[in-house]
Structure 1
Amino acid sequence: MSNATLGGWLRYRNLKVEAAIFLLIAVTFAAMLGKSALTRQALTLTPQSGQLISYAFSDAQSGGRSSVAADPNGPLSWSCEIRPGVAYPYCGYGLQMTAGQGKRGLDFSHYQTLTLRLTYQGAGERLKLLVKTAPPAAIGMRTGDQDMPLAVEFPVHKGDNLIQLPMAQLAPEQWWVASHGLSAQDVVPAFDDVRAVQIATADATPGPMTVSVSSIAFEGTYLSNEQYYLIILGAWLVLTGVFLVTRLLGMRREFEDRQRRQAEEARVLSEARAAAEAANAAKSQFLSHMSHELRTPLNGVIGYSYWLSRTGLDAKQRTAVDAIRSSGEHLLSVITDILDIAKIEAGRLDLQPTPFDLAACLAELDQMFRLRAEEKGLAFAVELSAEAPRTIVADPKRLRQVLINLLGNAVKFTDRGAVSLAVTLVDAPVGETARLRFAVEDTGVGIAPDQLDAVFRPFEQVGETSRHAGGTGLGLSITRQILETMGGEIDVVSTPGLGSRFVVEVSVGVEAVRARREAEAG
């Protein structure tokens, strides 16, 4: 696994731990909020609740004959006699909620259920619970702020009764709604200002009735503003945690997908590399065999052309033989360049360092190129500095090939002026090694700045097309590859129209130093 991949995995693993911890904290906090979020509220009225004013009522107040009497010794206990004589005979008992608070009643808006515990004796089978509240503000002007009765009926039986009623079942009395010219849509029950709670008869069955209430309990739960905001905060925390975990899982999928893609790309690249290497090896082997097969007959052609040129030929025949020899030599040079490129690409360019006379090698090059230069009217010079060693250890064939390529190009692309080769010592010899500089300078056509890199690429030929004849574009590419194999380097400085300067630096063995040390040791 690469360092980048390992680092990405470590970051992902740390994020996973942090996300898990954060989500655990968020869920824990939300659970604590949920446990204590709802505030439970209860109000229980019992015979011992003396702070409220009780009262009894009956239809006698509106011309009826029913009577009611509260038990003076038992609060929340009363008896009545239902007597016919009016359309709706009734009696009941109530608790006033506005005592000591002016006109404002109690807030029952947080209560959801009502529980009655009472003992009943009577002929009827139903009672009614009435809760009198302030009318909604929207209809206050039409009702004259008269209490709005909300009622719900419930069945009873003789003896003890446990009645549980949802507050939501309380609805406005129809007679009250009709008497004020209202509709059910106009009246929305509200319990924030309860002024009285009453228990009354629900049917007109004549006869005596006794009711003793043990307790009236209002219960409910609600959210305070602070708890409401905490619930929202907890919900946001949980959502944030869920988002973080979801994002984490998404990152994990992306990481795994990227790993799979990289593995697939690596596999495809490996297969392509193997195929390319196999193809390159096959190509190099093919070129090696073909070059060998071609050079053998070419050497024969060139050899016989030299032999024929020494025989008695007329001018036309000699011209033909010279053309055969020249073409053969050019073809042999191209084949040699292609073979060198094949060896370099296959990694089989072997160096064979051996001691040789550098001065003699330069003298041969001087003799080889001086005639060509003088034929073009160029001044030609080869100079070996005095401090440079005369005998060196290197591959003479490859070093000679580098210098031939550079000098050949210099003469080829120079029409007037001079071509020179100067060999100098870069640094004093260290041990048995010295670093030499070979500078080939000309006053030729030069190379444009944007083409300096192209001259070292295979089959690239820059400059005027008319000067490309007779070249393959491999010379400088081979030169650079040979120098890299030798541990050397090449650089070029050129100005179009003024000429070029190719500088080669390479480390070589110093045979003189080695011989002296061997003599001293002996």
Structure 2
Amino acid sequence: MSKRYNRTSGVKLANDIAPTVVAHNLLEDGPQSSASDRKTHTRHRWLHYSNLKVEAAIFLLIALTFAAVLGQKAITSRHLDLTSRVGQYYPFVYGDKDDGGNSTIDHDTTKPLTWSCDLREGAKFVYCGYGLQFEAPGKGKGIDFSKYKNVTIRLTYHGVGDHLRLLLQSTAPASLGRKVKPGETMPFVAEFPVTQGVNEIHLNAEQFAVEQWWLTSHGVTAEEAGTDMDDIVSLAFSSGSQTPHGRFDVKVTSLEFHGVSLSTDQWYLIILGVWLVLTGGFLVFRFLGMRRLYEARQRQQAEESRVLAEARAAAEAASSAKSQFLANMSHELRTPLNAILGYAQFLKATNSSERDLAALQTIEHSGEHLLTMITDILDIAKVEAGRLELLPGIFDIRLCVLSVAQMVRLRAEEKGLLFTVDIADDVPRLVMADQKRIRQVLINLLGNAIKFTPSGEVRLEVSCVTSATDDTGLRFCVTDTGVGISPDQLQRIFQPFEQAGNAIDKSGGTGLGLSITYHIVQMMGGDIRVESGIGSGSRFIVEAPFGRSDEEMARLEAPDAVAEAPDDSAAPLPETEAGAPLVAPFGPQLDHLLFLARAGNLRAIRKAVPAIIAAGPEYRGFAERLDSLAAAYQSPAVLRLIEDAARERDAA
């Protein structure tokens, strides 16, 4: 292949190159601070606002690091080694034969970038050269040399002359319009000196310029031609412009292009990095401001919490004093009331006139009403003071229900109400619970039902329900056809001193019965709810677990068994089946059990039973007995069992 090239001078190669907290602590140690406070403050100083400067510096450092990574990725180093890729291109030679010259050139196709040239007379301009035609990649474009700024050439030169030229043939820019033909090329050339033997040549983009003959022939100035070399279609070496006639040999061993480039996308990444740093700084500023506001709010909340704590402590102290006062006064009042009732009953038994009997009846009824009110006040005081206790025991639940029904039946019949009791067949006879509190719950519910039912019926139903534990679940339903309760009152009837109904019905009672009932049911682990509406009556439903001890039940149900439950105060020193005393763990386990028993935490005691059994087989009897008593809610018996074991340990 033959191409025409002429000598020229240097020009710049187009190449876009990318440009390369310790402050005052908010919680400052004052002179009055204790040593432990100062130690704790020093240990957690990094949590305080003063070190937010360190946090801000770390954040900014991370942002700058990210921006630097973006910059490193954006300003990308470029390297093109044509020596290793020569086989991909088409070699060609050219000379002055097209201009009437006689120069010859030899090259071996098996040895790329190696050729010999013999310059001879005959042409006005004598020249010869060797080149590579690039295979157009993609859509007909050549190689983009605009990203390379430096060229490194390693070659061996022997023969006449001391200069060579490197030519890059580029597609002419479309901006030249009609001055060039479509697809016409434009030559860039740089001339460099060589010496005999091995040479290492370094060229830069500023040494390349468009051939002057090409500019003249097309009527184009160097400024119009530009320096854009993004579409180079061929590369060639030729003899220097002043090379004398004669032979020279050239062997190029290395041809490398170096540079950096910055694409549009990468430029956007740099802009993004700058914005990231600015945004990070703004966020840090905002964060510091928000943290200052947060710290101020924390101090305000701490002060408010302190004031509230003091107020709560004062209120609790006042409430405790009130409860203690009510408890003491209730006891003081019940003692003379019991005496009045006792003498009233005694005088009724003697021979008295009808007038005296009527007066005594009034005294007795008034005293009983007053005693009920005082008892309610005492119970609610115990509830508020946390001293209301359950004392479970085995009793006949059917007999308990029937005895309560017998007590209230007379009041219902006096008002002309139909009173019925229905106990389901599957309700067991003996259960484990606090009989006194069960009676109190039933009396309160039935008393309210009769009180607020002017006509119709009051009904008590007892049935079994499924229990979440091994205990027996019982349901008590008290239904009436009374005045009912409005929806807004349903939310308040279980609160102390609240009563439902009209003003006339509110004339008697303390309004404590339902509140006490609610707390008793909750202490039993049960639930109480109400269904009611104005004019449609009310239905109170109580569901609670009742403990069972199969051995005790079997013994009490035997023909020679005592009808009533045994008194705990007369008890179970527990022994094993062989008759030997139970063995309790004497280590920290016993101290923990004693703490739980004094706190009345039977549930936690039951949870501790597996650990006691795991401590050794000798403790199984004690653990099983403890679990049985706790499951039956026998808090006094549990405490007595553990205290006996503790005393035995201390005496050992």
Task: Report the TM-score range of the alignment, normalised by the length of the smaller protein.
Answer: 0.5 to 0.7
SS in 1 for 2:466: strand
Which of 492, 498, 502 aligns to 2:536? It is 498
The answer to whether the 8 Å contact 1:488/1:507 transfers is yes
Partners of 1:375 and 1:336 lie apart in 2 by: 25
Residues 500 and 17 of structure 1, relative CA distance in 2, 3 Å threshold: farther
Q: Structure 1, residues 277-307: CA drift from partner, whole Å, max 9, x if none?
A: 2222222211111111111011111111222
Cα displacement (A) at 1:377: 1.3
Partners of 1:389 and 1:233 lie apart in 2 by: 80
Which of 282, 289, 296 aligns to 2:328? It is 289
Q: How well do the aligned residues superpose, as a CA RMSD in angstroms? A: 3.8
Equivalence for 1:449: 487
- State how 1:8-407 maps to structure 2 within 5 Å: 16=56, 19-21=59-61, 243-407=282-446
Partners of 1:274 and 1:468 lie apart in 2 by: 34
SS in 2 for 1:454: coil
The answer to whether the 8 Å contact 1:414/1:442 transfers is yes
Partners of 2:280 and 2:66 lie apart in 1 by: 7
Equivalence for 2:522: 484
Which residue identity is paired with 2:523?
Answer: T
Q: Structure 1, residues 366-406: CA drift from partner, whole Å, max 9, x if none?
A: 21111111111111111211101011110000010000000
Residues 493 and 304 of structure 1, relative CA distance in 2, 3 Å threshold: same
Residues 236 and 505 of structure 1, relative CA distance in 2, 3 Å threshold: closer
Partners of 1:381 and 1:295 lie apart in 2 by: 33
SS in 2 for 1:465: coil
Residues 290 and 428 of structure 1, relative CA distance in 2, 3 Å threshold: closer
Which of 499, 504, 510 aligns to 1:461? It is 499
Residues 261 and 352 of structure 1, relative CA distance in 2, 3 Å threshold: same
Residues 518 and 412 of structure 1, relative CA distance in 2, 3 Å threshold: closer
The answer to whether the 8 Å contact 2:462/2:476 transfers is yes
Q: Number of paired residues?
A: 317
Partners of 1:414 and 1:237 lie apart in 2 by: 77
Residues 426 and 23 of structure 1, relative CA distance in 2, 3 Å threshold: closer
The answer to whether the 8 Å contact 2:60/2:281 transfers is no
Equivalence for 2:140: none
Percent of matched pairs sharing the same residue: 54
Partners of 1:23 and 1:347 lie apart in 2 by: 59
SS in 2 for 1:497: coil
**Structure 1: tracts of 5 or more residues without a match:** 1-5, 30-231
Residues 367 and 254 of structure 1, relative CA distance in 2, 3 Å threshold: same
Residues 492 and 519 of structure 1, relative CA distance in 2, 3 Å threshold: closer
Cα displacement (A) at 1:472: 0.9
Residues 406 and 263 of structure 1, relative CA distance in 2, 3 Å threshold: same
Tell me, yes or no, if structure 1 residue 410 matches structure 2 residue 456: no
Q: Structure 1, residues 58-93: CA drift from partner, whole Å, max 9, x if none?
A: xxxxxxxxxxxxxxxxxxxxxxxxxxxxxxxxxxxx
Tell me, yes or no, if structure 1 residue 439 matches structure 2 residue 477: yes
SS in 1 for 2:515: helix
Which residue identity is paired with 1:332?
Answer: L
User: Larger % of strand: which?
Assistant: 1
SS in 2 for 1:403: helix
Q: Structure 1, residues 157-198: CA drift from partner, whole Å, max 9, x if none?
A: xxxxxxxxxxxxxxxxxxxxxxxxxxxxxxxxxxxxxxxxxx
Partners of 2:557 and 2:448 lie apart in 1 by: 43
Partners of 1:507 and 1:8 lie apart in 2 by: 52
Which residue identity is paired with 1:20?
Answer: L
Cα displacement (A) at 1:20: 2.4
Q: Structure 1, residues 398-425: CA drift from partner, whole Å, max 9, x if none?
A: 0100000000011111122111111101
Q: Structure 1, residues 20-47: CA drift from partner, whole Å, max 9, x if none?
A: 2377579999xxxxxxxxxxxxxxxxxx
The answer to whether the 8 Å contact 1:391/1:512 transfers is no
Q: TM-score, structure 2 length as denominator?
A: 0.44
Q: Structure 1, residues 204-239: CA drift from partner, whole Å, max 9, x if none?
A: xxxxxxxxxxxxxxxxxxxxxxxxxxxx99998887
Residues 336 and 517 of structure 1, relative CA distance in 2, 3 Å threshold: closer
**Structure 2: tracts of 5 or more residues without a match:** 1-45, 70-270, 559-576, 579-652
Residues 235 and 387 of structure 1, relative CA distance in 2, 3 Å threshold: closer
